[in-house]
Structure 1
């Protein structure tokens, strides 16, 4: 029996997680009539498997899907607790189920073809891309591929840490949480020998909240370590875990590295999400850049341009992140001290816009001036020396 030739599409979205889902939703908002689209992923994402948090102005396409938002957040360090007024911004929480549902609806409206398969190679000849399964068979041919699968950086970085965490969705029979404000960072947690830890609270109501223990560090913990961190943080919050119910558990590991990610590994393959440089090296924050990338891709396709988003962060921000990571990794700057000065010496809106990569050069200088001068100068020198050594070894 003769096999049929592989189908041809204009755009293949490889990976149906957060980045791929946001792209589909964005395409549905713009006029891309006639665009032949395929979604390739072995799993049809659904349900609550992760939670994203981000800041920005109210309004926009995400608002109908939000679980909660806050105009005030708390940051607690050794100097005490400060409540930050984010206006005109707000901090928002988005759970995965409505994102996946919106993507599935968008795929139906766009007439997208669904291919339930794992992708192996992407063979790009400069005109089309052959999307192959793990056995080498051609699943389809695409004019462009948007690849949101996790991928290693182009080369190792000088510093590699991880943002790693565990969160419990806690339900209480009586009011115990303050739904009027979230806890962004609480550094009262015991600090690791190398790295920084903090707690995090996102209340949906006075009886239901996500409580997380997070570390920025070069080594991951085991299950016992995350659970111990969460129990300890719950104690700091005055929560009686015996009276609460753990409804869900969320875990995550996100790279924090100055290693370069290749956002366009071949002429017609574009990477999105962490593999496309959307993760902020100094914090691990990813969602806002993913959302921007999706909108830029959709706008470009609607205008008949190549679906290539801009770099997620300006080059000077990537350099500043590399310096901050080196300072934290060497121990010349303590994590709680670094963030305490950042929030203490800058308006909250500037800090949040900086972390999103949305500040200009003048604001960046103000952020730099708020950092510990001598340790950061040492880190700058170390970073420059590291870059020189790397160039010489490659050259």
Structure 2
């Protein structure tokens, strides 16, 4: 038996949930929609943090938000006013609940099974689910499953992290401000690390240790790093309780992700280029993709979102990754100069791909010239080599899970 639909969402995590909610919000009607995923997502399995302007569809779902954030290096403390933006924290449970409500009201068909193959003939896509389950034939497929880039990058790093949800027995955190980056953590031999604090109230916060580097740590090493950061903050372990643990691994690579692998298949999330290579932030681009898809379908147009980031930003990310990877600049210095020499709102809009060319030039001027010129020349040489020579590098594959842990969340935690 084959089920015919207009749109099939393959993968039911954050990206698909945002699409379902956007379809309902934009009044999409009379479309046959299906979701194909082996897991029916519920509850708090990840946390996203992002910046936006208050007064939108997410306001009533947020766990917390802040108009003030801190960026700390060993030699400087920065308290940044984000106005008119805010930094916001969103846990997955309310997102899945809103998506479930959208499923009900849109009459979505759910197939709890993995998609074993997508056969696109240019007119319809056959979604094969295997076994005795019905196959699905769709006019369009929106595929949010993790995928490697189309070719290995010239630089391949990971953003990897572990966070503890800490409850204290007395007021400790300032719920009016978050710590965006605290670079007082011990730095890895290759890469950069920082701490991260998102307070929900004065006694409860997500405290996280993050690295940008080529290699994952062991579970014990993440715990040791978090314990060290907890001590640096002045938190007494005897007066804290770890309520939950979150882990994540996000690719940071200049390898290109193929957002349109065939005529009627569109990839979303990291596989569709939503992850910013220089920072790992993903949520805001997933949200933009969802909104663009819903608007297109409501207007009877193909559900193909625009590229997540301008081409010039992807080039700037490639140069920055090369400069960090080749130790031309230090991570603490690089990010510290960005926030020292630009308004916080400009830096955040730049990281979100929303700045003008003039603002991009201002951001570029805040970095040290010689290392970035060197990295730019190296990037240009690498691009020329990729065009002229066959790629003999081994194929890129997703990183293994953190030792001793469940596989990390595909869309990332607290990003």
TM-score range, shorter chain: over 0.9
TM alignment of 1:304-319, pairs within 5 A? 304-319=300-315
When the two structures are superposed, what TM-score results if normalisation uses the length of structure 1?
0.98
Q: Which residue of the partner structure matches residue 412 of structure 2?
A: none
Q: Which residue of the partner structure matches residue 331 of structure 1?
A: 327
Match of 2:272 among 272, 276, 290: 276
> 2:3·2:134 contact (CA, 8 Å) conserved in 1?
no
What is the distance in 2 between the residues matched to 1:109 and 1:275?
A: 28
When the two structures are superposed, what TM-score results if normalisation uses the length of structure 2?
0.93
Residue 33 in structure 1 maps to residue 32 in structure 2: no
> 1:120·1:135 contact (CA, 8 Å) conserved in 2?
no
Residue 85 in structure 1 maps to residue 46 in structure 2: no
What is the distance in 1 between the residues matched to 2:44 and 2:126?
A: 33
Structure 1 unaligned blocks of 5 or more = none
What is the distance in 2 between the residues matched to 1:353 and 1:391?
A: 32
**Partner SS for 2:148:** coil
Q: Which residue of the partner structure matches residue 341 of structure 1?
A: 337
Residue 230 in structure 1 maps to residue 220 in structure 2: no
Q: Which residue of the partner structure matches residue 54 of structure 1?
A: 50
Q: Which residue of the partner structure matches residue 242 of structure 2?
A: 246
Match of 1:103 among 68, 76, 99: 99
Residue 173 in structure 1 maps to residue 134 in structure 2: no
**Partner SS for 2:122:** coil
What is the distance in 2 between the residues matched to 1:371 and 1:101?
A: 43
TM alignment of 1:372-387, pairs within 5 A? 372-387=368-383
How far the C-alpha of 1:134 sits from its partner, in A, is: 4.7
**Partner SS for 1:284:** coil
How far the C-alpha of 1:138 sits from its partner, in A, is: 5.6
How far the C-alpha of 1:78 sits from its partner, in A, is: 2.5
Match of 1:285 among 271, 281, 303: 281
Q: Which residue of the partner structure matches residue 406 of structure 2?
A: none
How far the C-alpha of 1:32 sits from its partner, in A, is: 1.6
Higher RCO (CA-CA < 8 Å; seq separation 6+): 2
How far the C-alpha of 1:31 sits from its partner, in A, is: 2.2
How far the C-alpha of 1:243 sits from its partner, in A, is: 1.2
Q: Deviations over 1:269-317 (max 9, x none)?
A: 0000000000000010000000000000000000000000000000000
Q: Deviations over 1:152-208 (max 9, x none)?
A: 111111000000000000001110111010000000000000000000000000000
Residue 19 in structure 1 maps to residue 10 in structure 2: no
Structure 2 unaligned blocks of 5 or more = 392-415
What is the distance in 2 between the residues matched to 1:139 and 1:365?
A: 51
How far the C-alpha of 1:127 sits from its partner, in A, is: 0.3
Match of 2:194 among 195, 198, 218: 198
Distance 1:197 1:134, change over 3 A: farther
Q: Which residue of the partner structure matches residue 367 of structure 2?
A: 371
